[in-house]
Chain A
């Protein structure tokens, strides 16, 4: 599992590559820390190359969303595959995130 963070204008894009499962969650939590400080930005969680997400991964997304709200930033989840879309739908997370 790899996480790449790129800042571009008003956006901070976090690209998730691989499987965000329980084993990968500890490292990913560390990798996304720069996102937690983004002020007044649009934070894009780019899931184009994310193959799988577990509950631990959802918790990381949720932590990013909570911090973003306190810093006036907004979180968008983009390009989720069918499996991840299903996870978001079943858990009601479609109501928590803007999905593009």
Chain B
């Protein structure tokens, strides 16, 4: 190694504590900012180039650098996102977090030749306030990261040039992953739009226009359709109401052949009073002053089964659907049937 490169290596050794500080600070700033933005990413990492790696770089192109500050990737940070859109969002945040050296920053996504794909990430050369050395920030999607990692492993790690045929196949995969990345982003955007439209329809009460599925039932539950009934039931013993997840009732309403949220809402409205009477019959003679928010919908479904002639067997199916097949369900169904019969069936 020549003297010039030796001097840069010496400067590197002396600056390692400084780079350690920078590494911790960069990670802290990135994590903190992303946490506050609510944006979920696959990983945030930062590494300091090893002396061995730096020596290799200097051996290859040491003359290009006057001082250590000219080498921009001694500290490298990387954020890997799920979606391509998020790369741009984080890039915009990075511009607020750090000073960007625009002359040396590259959006490799824009550098594609017509006949090749490749290493599609965004590289910013940044500076942290109060530090003299620059660092590199890479932003890429999970698929870009997978492609780059595998390409690095089979393409460059051995230092042996690989035949064109294999390169062509690697590049074909890169194109495929680029398409997949774009499609994932598009799907996310469309799902978000769909959810907004559903919420709008629910808010406007156009429930017959909304097909029943996991997304739409969640929107329906956000309109708190069982609150009134739960409050009436809680008033029987001045009970407190504990929130319970209700999404599992989607399977039950599907079993009741509900196709739209309108079908669900009609059942809720039709059987609300009977469900309350069942709760009054059950809880009225007790001092139980805590209930779960599932009690209202549970009683509505119980009443629906019995009124529609499902009997004990129908209740077993109801509890099997809710809790999974379980030997306790038969006993719960038997007990519910005996109590509900007096309120629902006998009337």
Residues of A within 8 A of B (CB): 54-55, 58-59, 62, 80, 82, 85-96, 98-100
Rounded to whole angstroms, the CA-CA distance of A82 and B334 in the bound complex is 11
Residue of A nearest to B324 (CB): A98
Contact, CB under 8 Å: A59 / B244: no
Could you say which of B286, B322, B331 contacts A90, with CB atoms under 8 Å apart? B286
Contact, CB under 8 Å: A91 / B291: yes
B52: min CB distance to chain A, Å: 39
Could you say which of A54, A82, A92 contacts B295, with CB atoms under 8 Å apart? A92
Contact, CB under 8 Å: B244 / A55: no
Q: Which residues of A contact B290 (CB under 8 A)?
A: 55, 58-59, 62, 91
Q: Which residues of B contact A86 (CB under 8 A)?
A: 335
Contact, CB under 8 Å: B282 / A90: yes
Contact, CB under 8 Å: B326 / A99: yes
Could you say which of A90, A96, A98, A99 contacts B283, with CB atoms under 8 Å apart? A90
The answer to whether B66 has its CB under 8 Å from any CB of chain A is no
A60: min CB distance to chain B, Å: 11
Residues of B within 8 A of A (CB): 239, 242, 244-246, 248, 279, 282-283, 286-296, 298, 319, 322-323, 326, 328, 331-332, 335-336
Rounded to whole angstroms, the CA-CA distance of A85 and B242 in the bound complex is 18
B152: min CB distance to chain A, Å: 34
Could you say which of A89, A90, A96, A99 contacts B244, with CB atoms under 8 Å apart? A96
Given A55-B287, A91-B295, CB of A96 within 8 Å of CB of B242: yes
Could you say which of A54, A92, A99 contacts B292, with CB atoms under 8 Å apart? A92
Q: Which residues of B contact A94 (CB under 8 A)?
A: 294, 298, 319, 322-323, 332
Rounded to whole angstroms, the CA-CA distance of A83 and B262 in the bound complex is 37
Could you say which of B282, B291, B323, B331 contacts A98, with CB atoms under 8 Å apart? B323
Residue of A nearest to B336 (CB): A89
Rounded to whole angstroms, the CA-CA distance of A87 and B292 in the bound complex is 12
Residue of A nearest to B329 (CB): A99
Apart from A82-B335, A89-B336, what are 6 other A-B pairs with CB-CB below 8 Å? A55-B289, A58-B290, A89-B282, A89-B335, A94-B323, A96-B242
Rounded to whole angstroms, the CA-CA distance of A89 and B294 in the bound complex is 10
Residue of B nearest to A92 (CB): B295
Rounded to whole angstroms, the CA-CA distance of A54 and B286 in the bound complex is 10
Highest count of chain A CB atoms <10 Å: which of B245, B246, B332: B332
Q: Which residues of B contact A89 (CB under 8 A)?
A: 282, 332, 335-336
Rounded to whole angstroms, the CA-CA distance of A25 and B290 in the bound complex is 15
Rounded to whole angstroms, the CA-CA distance of A22 and B242 in the bound complex is 19
Q: Which residues of A contact B248 (CB under 8 A)?
A: 95
Q: What would be 27 A-B contacts, judged by CB atoms less than 8 Å apart?
A: A54-B288, A55-B289, A59-B290, A62-B242, A85-B331, A85-B332, A85-B335, A86-B335, A89-B332, A89-B335, A90-B283, A90-B286, A90-B288, A91-B283, A91-B288, A92-B244, A92-B292, A92-B294, A92-B295, A92-B298, A94-B332, A95-B245, A95-B248, A95-B292, A96-B244, A96-B292, A99-B326
B118: min CB distance to chain A, Å: 40
Residue of A nearest to B294 (CB): A95
Q: Which residues of B contact A100 (CB under 8 A)?
A: 326, 328
Q: Which residues of B contact A54 (CB under 8 A)?
A: 287-288
B22: min CB distance to chain A, Å: 34
Rounded to whole angstroms, the CA-CA distance of A80 and B327 in the bound complex is 12
A76: min CB distance to chain B, Å: 11
Q: Which residues of A contact B319 (CB under 8 A)?
A: 94
Q: Which residues of A contact B332 (CB under 8 A)?
A: 85, 88-89, 94, 99
